[in-house]
Structure 1
Amino acid sequence: MSHPRSEDDIFAEFFGASSIPSGPRNADGIFADYFGASSPSAPRREADIFTEFFGVSSPSAAAAAGDSSKGGDGGGGSLHHGGDRKADPIEKKLPCSLEHLYKGTTKKMKISREIVDVIGKTMQVEEILTVDVKPGWKKGTKITFQKGNKQPGVIPADLVFIIDEKPHPVFTREGNDLVVTLKISVLEAFTGYTINLTTLDGRRLTIPVNCVIHPEYEEVVPMEGMPLQKDQTKKGNLRIKFNIKFPTSFTSEQKIGLKKLLG
């Protein structure tokens, strides 16, 4: 014959304890029964909760610690991840002839730098860097390599080559245009002149000028300038200027002849 079950029996069957705990239970007791640890007695920090679940410190705590270190570098360079400082860039000029900047070329640059081996010993090594100079590059164009000295706690500096243009005996460069100035006589200025030029890539140009050449006159030859850096199928102009050599004196006969010609 079955008997009514008491509250103690039901509690023991479900929870494995002999009786219902007497008196009202606080939050600490309930937390300990279910999670096997005492309930936190005070509000927990975000960093503590993050560490308990993931085993590493909270990113926000790390960021806060990182913020406190800013401004203490005191020197050149910039801060990167991990707190390492990047050394200031090292700049070197790379002289190029106008022919090289017109046609393009490859330059080999020998550099020497310091590195740190696996045991922390500093040693000097030499390397050959290849710089591919493209047609149309201008003075001031920069080519960057990450090839500075390696030091503990410092990210190697960038090695920056800066294109420098050598003077040319015939041409000067103005933007994408090539400019040449020719000396001619007054007779040639009045009677016509034929220009003969060798281009930067070795071609021969013959340009007849049949008009009267005055000191401000400029002959423009399209598409015979420098290649455009962004579109090497196009070129600037070749601009030819003239330096007219005037005689210092005339004879009486020459003066009469000029008067007839110009009068």
Structure 2
Amino acid sequence: MGVDYYNILKVSKNATDEDLKRSYKRLAMKWHPDKNGENKKEAEAKFKQISEAYDVLSNAHKRQIYDLYGEEALKSGQFDQASPTCAGHPGAGGNSFRYKSRDADDIFAEFFGLSKGGFKDSPVVAGGDRGTPRKAAPVENLLPCSLEELYKGSKRKMQISRIVLDDTGKPVTVEEVLAIHIKPGWKKGTKITFPEKGDYEPGAAPGDLVFVVEEKPHPVFRRDGNDLVVHKKISLLDALTGSTISLTTLDGRELTIPVTDVIKPGHEQVIPNEGMPISKEPGKKGNLRIKFEIKFPSRLSSDQKSELRRVLGRPAE
């Protein structure tokens, strides 16, 4: 028989028009060249085969001739047109039937109600109407990230389960591992989208799977936009006379920061370029802001008070 159109469309020889449409829609969406950039040549060949199979099997006359005589006879017109089986169809009793192959893009556009070549911007992908398959709603999942991951960047592997159609058109659950590359400086609410990795829904193209970055609390630092904020307690003595503080950064470096100014309540010391990386400006970072809390003594003796008055310039009463 040559080419097996039923096998190409993954349908039985008793397939109804609805069976043909359902299978063509699934396979054409899967193998459309616009969706297969990495193996476009293979996809184009598959797409043309699927389109030709649908064109033949969805046309009652072509299908009958194919079933009786095969693909080669159908295309060459060399079959017994006087056969009673073909009676009543154009070409029966004569040699006037001529097989005409239809363009694969024309079939696709006609099937989905699009202009030719309109797949990329079509409602099949964009989720519009015009009687075409809608796109299922996106599925969102939170992606909790530590402040260290958002500072340095990281790679994650996420195992997902989703519902897809198998080759027979039956919904099945499959597992898949997705690679997520977290870039330095990403903020809470950043979305990572995997197109059409959502669940199958009847009458719809698969929706997108979206991961939304969530920032986990950190025991030392708090993020404020591109800045990092840290709170440090110092004694009243250090606040008045100066000190040195040490900090371990989110990438493991040790910072030694001299405190030379007199620290007043509410004082904030700014260390430039030691905040969070700025994702849209590689090489740049925000500021590190140190907020000081002064620890006052709970009590002072009479002698301590007198000494403080003397040192600070107030005469003893």
The reply on whether 1:92 has 2:141 as its aligned counterpart is yes
Of 302, 306, 309, which aligns to 1:259? Answer: 309
Measure the CA separation in 2 of the matches of 1:239 and 1:80. Answer: 52
Of 223, 226, 238, which aligns to 1:188? Answer: 238
Structure 2 counterpart of 1:256, which letter?
Answer: S
Partner SS, residue 79 of structure 1: coil
Q: Tell me how far 1:197 sits from its aligned partner.
A: 0.7
Of 228, 242, 246, which aligns to 1:178? Answer: 228
The TM-score normalised by the length of structure 2 is: 0.57
The reply on whether 1:200 has 2:254 as its aligned counterpart is no
The reply on whether 1:157 has 2:207 as its aligned counterpart is yes
1:91-170 alignment, distance < 5 Å? 91-146=140-195, 147-170=197-220
Partner SS, residue 137 of structure 2: coil
The verdict on how the C-alpha distance between 1:195 and 1:81 changes in structure 2, with shifts beyond 3 A counting, is: farther
The verdict on how the C-alpha distance between 1:79 and 1:92 changes in structure 2, with shifts beyond 3 A counting, is: same
Residue of structure 2 in register with 1:33 after alignment: none
RMSD (Å) for aligned C-alpha atoms: 2.1
Structure with more of its chain in helix, by fraction? 2
Deviations 1:132-170 (A, max 9, x none): 000010011000112011234211111110001111111
Measure the CA separation in 1 of the matches of 2:153 and 2:239. Answer: 37
Pick the structure with greater CA Rg: 1
Measure the CA separation in 1 of the matches of 2:307 and 2:244. Answer: 24
Q: Tell me how far 1:82 sits from its aligned partner.
A: 5.4
Deviations 1:152-196 (A, max 9, x none): 421111111000111111111101011100011111111111010
The TM-score normalised by the length of structure 1 is: 0.69
Gapped regions of structure 2 (runs ≥ 5): 1-105, 115-125
Measure the CA separation in 2 of the matches of 1:81 and 1:249. Answer: 80
Structure 1 counterpart of 2:172, which letter?
Answer: M
Percent of pairs identical after alignment?
Answer: 59
Which 4+ stretches in 1 moved above 4 angstroms?
none
What number of residue pairs does the alignment pair up? 192
Partner SS, residue 230 of structure 1: coil
Measure the CA separation in 1 of the matches of 2:249 and 2:277. Answer: 13
Deviations 1:6-25 (A, max 9, x none): xxxxxxxxxxxxxxxxxxxx
Partner SS, residue 306 of structure 2: helix
